Amino acid sequence: MPDAFSGALAQRMLSMLVISEDLPAQDNRVRITPDGRLRLEYEHNNLEGHERLVQTLKASLDGFVDHAHPISQHHLQLDSLLPLYGTAHQLGTVRFGTDPKSSVLDPWCKAHELDNLYVVDTSFFVSSAAVNPTLTTVANAMRVGDHLKERLGARTPAAAPT
């Protein structure tokens, strides 16, 4: 497709992406293969909830387009799921909690078994609730940072006199 045509088409296009939550699943995980490579094992889940969300979007679009007198041709695809390479926010690979038997990290995101290992990326999340987790990740990193400053007895430098 020529760039001029695809550019004109893109200017007149409205894209919608329905994002639903994948629920925690023990078999969805990252593994190391015998030859040392990483392998992501993943299956979509919560498909019933996703389908309800898709149907809600579809119903909200009723009446938006007059099919008897269309201004243009429309393509509406509501039935495809993002492929594995389309997943952007992997999380849930390092569970946190108070019991070392069922979690890797304590509530401060410190490894139960190592005193100097803290994990503050999205891997400690159980779920992202179908939203971008960046701001929550940053807020948690700041929370853990404050905890570390207190734990190590670090003091914030006094402000310079004005």
- Among 121, 125, 122, 124, residue whose Cα is nearest residue 112: 124
Q: Return the pLDDT at 97.
A: 92
What's the pLDDT tens digit per position in 101-127?
Answer: 989 999 999 999 999 999 999 888 887
Lowest average pLDDT, out of 6-10, 13-17, 137-141, 147-151, goes to 13-17
β strands within 23-162, DSSP E: 29-32, 38-41
Contact 4, 34 (CB under 8 A): no
How far apart are alpha carbons 109 and 96 in whole angstroms?
7
What's the pLDDT tens digit per position in 44-82?
Answer: 888 898 888 888 888 887 776 555 544 444 445 555 676
- Among 23, 5, 53, residue whose Cα is nearest residue 125: 23
Contact 149, 143 (CB under 8 A): no
- In the numeric block, the tokens 């992202």 are attached to 128
- What residues does 141 pair with on adjacent strands? none
How is residue 85 written in tokens? 């390479």
Lowest average pLDDT, out of 18-27, 81-90, 142-151, goes to 81-90
Backbone angles phi, psi at 55, to 5 degrees: -65, -35
Please, which residues have CB within 8 angstroms of residue 1's CB and are 6 or more apart in sequence? none
- Backbone region of residue 129 per phi and psi (left: phi > 0; alpha: psi in -120 to 50; beta: other values): left
Q: Hey, which of 26-35, 74-83, 85-94, 113-122 has the most confident mean pLDDT?
A: 113-122
Q: Return the pLDDT at 158.
A: 66
Q: Return the pLDDT at 66.
A: 53
Please, which residues have CB within 8 angstroms of residue 59's CB and are 6 or more apart in sequence? none
Percent of the chain with pLDDT over 90: 28
